[in-house]
Structure 1
Amino acid sequence: MSELRTGTDPAEEVDPAAVPPVATDSATGSAATPGKSEPPRLGRLLVRAAWVTAALTAAGSLLGLVRDQTIAHLFGAGLESDAFLIAWTVPEMAATLLIEDAMALLLIPAFSHALLRRAAAAPDGSEPDPVRALVTATCPRLFGLLACLAGLLMLGAPWVVRVLAPGFEDPRLAVDCTRLTSITVLTFALTGYCSAGLRAHGRFLAPAGVYVAYNLGVIATMLALHSMWGVRAAAAGVALGSLLMVLVQLPGFVRLVGPRRPGRRTRRPPGTPRAATIRHLGIALLLPVIAFTLSRQSQVLVERFFASGLPAGAISHLNYAQKVAQMPMVLSLMICTVTFPALAQAMAEGDLERARRRVERDLGVAGAIVLLGTAMVLGYAPQIIEVLFQRGAFDAQDTAATATVMRLYALGLLGHCLVGALGRPFFSSARPTWYPAASMGAGLAVTIAAGAVTVGPWGVYGIAAANAVGITTTALLLLAGLGSRVLPVDVRGVSLALGRLIVAAAAAATAGWAAAPLPAGPLLSLCAGCVLVPVTFVLTGLAVRAPEVLHLLALTRQRFCHDR
C-alpha cells in the first residue's frame, strides 16, 4: 500500500490561481471569504485521510481489545493483572506525552513553520534546509535526555511503584514489569517524533498504523511467553511492540527529511515572506505543553492511587472499562488528528478565519461521533463487556462491575473529546500559553476532590464518576477561553450545537437501555443495538436540527460515492 498524502507536496510547483475557491463553508453554510477557504481537492484528501486514519485506528483499537481480552483470559482481574497495570502506567503516560499530545502539539506546528520556510527558500538548494535544521537541532538532545530518563526509571522502579500504588500488597511483580516497560519512554518518543514529521508533510498512513504494530507485538509476546514468564510476558510485549511502532515509520520519515534535490522549485504560500523565521522550541514553549499533557494523564494516576487501597481487581475493572469506553473518543479525535496540520499551517500563515472555521467544523463532527459512541456505551455496557471479556478467569461478577464503571466513564467522553480537540488550536500558534495547563489543573483538582469524597462509600464507581466530572470541568474552561485568547470561535454557537447532539445521544441511549434486555443473548442484543442506537441518534438529531448530523452523513456519502 502506498503512503497516503494530503495537501500539496512542497517539492511540487503549484499555481495557486488554478485552485478554485470554495463558495460556502460546509459546516455553517455561510459564505466563505474568497481565496481563504481550503481548496476542494484538499478537502477531499482530508476526508480520505480521515477515513483511512479512522480505519487503521479502529483496527489498532480492535487489536487493543484483543490484547485486553488476552490479558483478562490469561490473568483475570486479580493480583497479576493489577501488577501489570501499575507498570503499564509508564507507557500510558509516555504515549500521551510523547505520541498523542505533547510531541504532536509542539512539533507539528514547528514542522509546519519549517515547511513554509522551505517553500520560500531559493530553489537552487543554496540555503540550509529548514526541515533538516529543525531535526538536527531537536532530535539528538531530546533522545539523549529521554534515554537517560528511561535508564533512571529502570533503576528506580521500586520507588516508582511505591508512589503509583502505595497500597499494593506485593510490589515485586509490579517492579519487574515496570523495568520492562520503561524502555517505552525512548521508543515512544521516537514514534511521536516521526509521527509529527510525517503528519506535517501530509502523510498519515504510517502514523495511523503504529498501534496496529504495537498491539500485534504485545499479543504475540504474551501468547508465546506467558507460560514461562507469567504476566511479565505482557510487559515484555509492550517493549517489543513499542519498537515495532518506530520501525513502521522510520523509513518514510528518513525519506522526507532528507536533502532536497536542487532545481525543484517549491510553492511559496501566499503572504509568506522569504525571511520568515520558525519559533524556537525553547523552554517557554515546552513547559506549558508538558504541564497540560501530564495533568491530563494524571487522571489515570489519581484513579490508580485511590483504587490501590480497594480489594484486588479494582484497578483492572477501571482499566477494562476505560479502554472500551474511550474507543468512541479515540475515533472522534481522528478528525482533529488529520486536520491538525491544516490548522497549524493556517495559524502559521496568520489566516485566523480559516483556522476558526476549521476548529468549529472539527468540534461539531468530533462531537457527533463521540456522542453516538457514548449512547452505545450507556445503552449496552453489560452486553459489550460480556461479549468482549467474560471468559476464562474473567467472570460474571467482573462483567457487572466493569459495565457499571464504563457507564460512569461514558458520561465524561464528550469532555475527553473536547479537551483533545481544543488543546490543538491553543498550541498551534507556537506561542507560550499556560491557559490549557491551568484549565487541566483545575479539572484535575476537581477529580481529586471528588474521588477523595466518593471512593469510600462508592469504591470504583466513585472514582469513575469523579473522572467524568473533572474532565468535563476542563472542557468547559478550554471552550470558554478559546474564543477570547486564541481564535474568534463562536462559543455560544458551538455550545448550542453540542447541546442538540447531547439531546440526540440521550434519546439514543434511552432507546438502547430499554431494548438491550429484550433479545436472547448478549451478542444478538449488541447487534440489534448497532442498528437501533445510530438510527435513533440520526432521527433525533434531524428532529432537533443538528447540522453536524447532516454533515456527518454527507461525509459518509461522499466517501462511498468516491469509492464507486
Structure 2
Amino acid sequence: MTLSPVSRDAAAPEPDPVPDAAPPPPAASGHPSRTLARAFGITAVLSVAGSLLGLARDLVLARYFGAGRETDAFLVAWSVPETAAPLLIDSAMPLLMLPAFSAALASRRSPVGPDPHPALPHDPQSVTAAGPVDPVPALVLATLPRLCLLLTLLSSVTWLGAPSVVALLAPGLHDPALAVTCTRFTATTVFFFGLAGYLSAGLRAHQHFTAPAAVYTAYNTGILITVVLTHGSLGIRAAALGVAVGSLLMVVTVLPAFHRRCCRLTSLKRRPGADRSLAAVTLSLQALVPVVAFALTRQSQVYIERYLGSGLPSGTISHLNYAEKVAQMPMAIAVMISTITLPLIARAMAEGDTERARDQVEKDLVLVSAITLAATAFLVACAPQILALLFQHGAFDAADTSASAAVMRIFSLGLLGQALVGATARPFFSARPMARFADSTPAGGQGTNLSGWIPTAAMGLGLAVTAAVSLLTAPRYGAPGLAAGNAVGITLTAALLLGGLRARGIPVTLTRVAARLSRLCAAAACATGAALCAAHFAGPDPLPVVLLVGSVTVVVFGTTAWLFGVHELRAPLLALAGRRGKA
C-alpha cells in the first residue's frame, strides 16, 4: 500500500525531458492523518490476525501439552526465537536498516540540482556506466550478502551450542535433553528472522506496510499446521519444528514484495555500476553495536524469568509464558503505531527537521499510552475469566488458570512501561543509519555520538532493578514475584528513556507529555474500578464477564480521558470516521 507521495521512489517514473527539472510529485491521495490512519488500519488488521493466530498457537499448546515439564523444556528452547524476533524483526533490524533505507531514499531525492539518480522507464534499478549510483540497490548490494553470511554463522553456532544455551538459561530444568533438541530446531529462526526483518525494513522505508505486517500471520500459521499434524508423533518437538517452518514462511511472505517494490534482487550482480555501488556505501559499526546491545539487554528480562523460574516448581515458566503472551497482545498493537510512523521520523531526522520529528514522537507517545492503559484496565479486571475462556481446556486446568491470572494482573502493571520503551527507543537510532553514502551530507539534529547508547544504559539500569526485585520476591511469591520485577524494571527504563529524548536531539516537551500521561493514568484508574465492579456482578460464566468488562472499560476510559483533556485522541478517531463516511 502507499502511505505518502514519497513512496514514488519504489516506482519507475518516466524520464524527464528537461535535464534541470525534477519530475513533479504525484498528487497526495488524502490528508496525512487519513493516510496514516489507513496505514494503521491495514497494518492493524494483519497484526491482529497474526496475534489471534499466536493466541490460537498458545491454545493448541495448552490443549495438547498443558503446563508441565515438556512445555517448560520447549519454552526454554523458545528463548532463541524470542530473542531473535525482537532483535532481528521488531527492534534491531528496523532501527538499523530502516534509517539506512530512508537515508538512501533521501539521497536519491536530493533537491540540489537535477535528479542525481534518474530511473529508466522499465528498470528502476538501472544506472549507466558513467552515471551516478542509485543508492537503494547500492545499499542492498553492500549489506544483504554480509547479513546472510553473518546470520548463517549465528544459526550454526546456536545449533552447535544448544547444550550450553540450555544450561545457561535454565540450569534447574527437569528435562534438559528435550530442551536441547527443541533448541536445535529453533536455531534456524536466527537466519530466517534476520532476513525477514531486513526485507521488512526496506518495504517500510518505501511506505509499504502490508507484507511486513503479515509476517507473524505466516509465522503462526506455520506453527499451528505443524503442531496439529505432528504432535501425536513428535510430542512437544512438533512445536519446535513448527517454529522453524513458520520462520521460513516469514521470508516467503516478504521476499516477493521487496523484489517488486524496493530492489530487483536478480539484477544486482549484473547491473552496470555494481562495483561502484559497493564502494559508494560505508558501513558503520558505531551505529550497529548500540542497537544490538539494547535489543539483547531488553530481552534479558526474559532470561531472568527463565533462569529463576527453572528453580521454582514445575509449570512456573509456563504460567509466566501464558500470562505474558496474552497481556502483551494489546501492547504490541499499540507499539505498532510507532512502527508505522518510524519511517516518517527517520526521514525527518535525515532531513534535519527535528520539529516535525518531535511532533510525531509526542503524538505517538499519547496514542500508544492510551491504548496500553485501556488494555491494562481490562486485563486487571478480568484476568481469570480471560484465561479460563482461552486456555482452560484439555491439559490446562483451573489451578493453571488461577496461577496464570495472578501473574497477568501484576505483569499488566508494567505494560505502559513496555509500550513506552518500544515507542521511545526508536527515535534514538532513527538518524544514525548503519550505512552512509558517498554523496550524502550529515543531517542536522542527530544528537551526540553517545546518544545511541542511552537506550542500552537505561535498559541496563532497569534490568538491574528487575533482577533485584525478582531475587527478593520470587522465593516467597513465585511467578508473581518475577512478574513484579519485570514491571518495576521496565517502568524505570521507560522513565529514563523519556528523559533522554532531548539528548538524542528531539526537543520533546517532557512536561506536556507527562501531563498527558498522568491524565491517561487517571482515566485508566477510573476504568479499572468500573470494570472490577462490572466483573463482580456479571456472574460466573467467563464469556459474559469478558464482553461486559470490555465494553465498560472502553466507554469509561474514553469518556474520562476526554473529560480530563486528552484531546490528542480526537484526530485519529475523526480520521477513521472520515474514511468510513466516504466508504
Could you say whether these structures have the same fold, taking a TM-score greater than 0.5 normalized by the shorter chain as the test? yes
Shift of 1:119: 2.2
Partner of 1:438: 457
Measured against aligned partners, the alpha-carbon deviations of 1:93-119 in whole angstroms (never above 9, x if no partner) come to 000100000000011100000011222
Partner of 1:494: 513
Would you say the 8 A contact 2:309–2:479 is kept in 1? Answer: yes
Shift of 1:281: 3.4
Partner of 1:537: 557
Would you say the 8 A contact 1:7–1:45 is kept in 2? Answer: no
Structure 1 pair 115–538 and aligned structure 2 pair: CA distance change class (3 A): same
Partner of 1:43: 33
Measured against aligned partners, the alpha-carbon deviations of 1:250-282 in whole angstroms (never above 9, x if no partner) come to 01111234369xxxxxxxxxxxxxxxx998431
Partner of 1:119: 109
Cα distance in 1 for residues equivalent to 2:50 and 2:358: 31
Shift of 1:16: 6.3
Partner of 2:158: 153
Cα distance in 1 for residues equivalent to 2:382 and 2:27: 51
Partner of 1:329: 331
What is the TM-score with the length of structure 1 in the denominator?
0.90
Would you say the 8 A contact 1:129–1:259 is kept in 2? Answer: no
Give the secondary structure class of the aligned counterpart of 2:508. coil
Would you say the 8 A contact 1:326–1:413 is kept in 2? Answer: yes
Cα distance in 2 for residues equivalent to 1:394 and 1:290: 37
Cα distance in 2 for residues equivalent to 1:548 and 1:397: 42
Aligned residue pair count: 526
Q: Match for 1:87 among 77, 80, 95?
A: 77
Shift of 1:550: 2.8
Q: Match for 1:522 among 542, 545, 549?
A: 542
Output the amino acid matched with 1:515.
Answer: A
Cα distance in 2 for residues equivalent to 1:257 and 1:504: 43
Would you say the 8 A contact 1:108–1:199 is kept in 2? Answer: yes
Measured against aligned partners, the alpha-carbon deviations of 1:347-392 in whole angstroms (never above 9, x if no partner) come to 1111111111111111111111111111111111111101110010
Partner of 1:272: none
Q: Is the deviation greater in 426-435 or in 194-203?
A: 426-435
Q: Match for 1:472 among 483, 487, 491?
A: 491
Shift of 1:496: 0.6
Would you say the 8 A contact 1:114–1:278 is kept in 2? Answer: no
Structure 1 pair 483–552 and aligned structure 2 pair: CA distance change class (3 A): same
Measured against aligned partners, the alpha-carbon deviations of 1:51-99 in whole angstroms (never above 9, x if no partner) come to 1101111110011000000000000000111111000000000001000
Would you say the 8 A contact 1:168–1:309 is kept in 2? Answer: yes
Structure 1 pair 559–84 and aligned structure 2 pair: CA distance change class (3 A): farther
Partner of 1:129: 134
Output the amino acid matched with 2:259.
Answer: V
Structure 1 pair 333–244 and aligned structure 2 pair: CA distance change class (3 A): same
Q: How does 1:209-288 map to 2 (within 5 A)?
A: 209-258=214-263, 280-288=282-290
Cα distance in 1 for residues equivalent to 2:263 and 2:157: 33
Structure 1 pair 539–356 and aligned structure 2 pair: CA distance change class (3 A): same
Q: CA RMSD for the aligned pairs? A: 1.8
Cα distance in 2 for residues equivalent to 1:243 and 1:464: 32
Output the amino acid matched with 2:469.
Answer: A
Would you say the 8 A contact 2:206–2:262 is kept in 1? Answer: no
Output the amino acid matched with 1:471.
Answer: I
What is the TM-score with the length of structure 2 in the denominator?
0.87
Give the secondary structure class of the aligned counterpart of 2:536. coil
Structure 1 residues without counterparts, runs of 5 or longer: 20-38, 261-276
Cα distance in 1 for residues equivalent to 2:43 and 2:237: 32
Cα distance in 1 for residues equivalent to 2:394 and 2:364: 41
Structure 2 residues without counterparts, runs of 5 or longer: 14-21, 111-115, 120-126, 266-278, 433-445
Cα distance in 1 for residues equivalent to 2:371 and 2:23: 35
Structure 1 pair 187–515 and aligned structure 2 pair: CA distance change class (3 A): same
Output the amino acid matched with 2:558.
Answer: V
Partner of 2:18: none
Shift of 1:127: 1.6
Would you say the 8 A contact 2:70–2:175 is kept in 1? Answer: no
Q: Match for 2:169 among 161, 164, 173?
A: 164
Cα distance in 2 for residues equivalent to 1:359 and 1:151: 39
Partner of 2:19: none
Partner of 2:185: 180
Partner of 2:65: 75
Give the secondary structure class of the aligned counterpart of 1:203. coil
Cα distance in 2 for residues equivalent to 1:207 and 1:427: 20
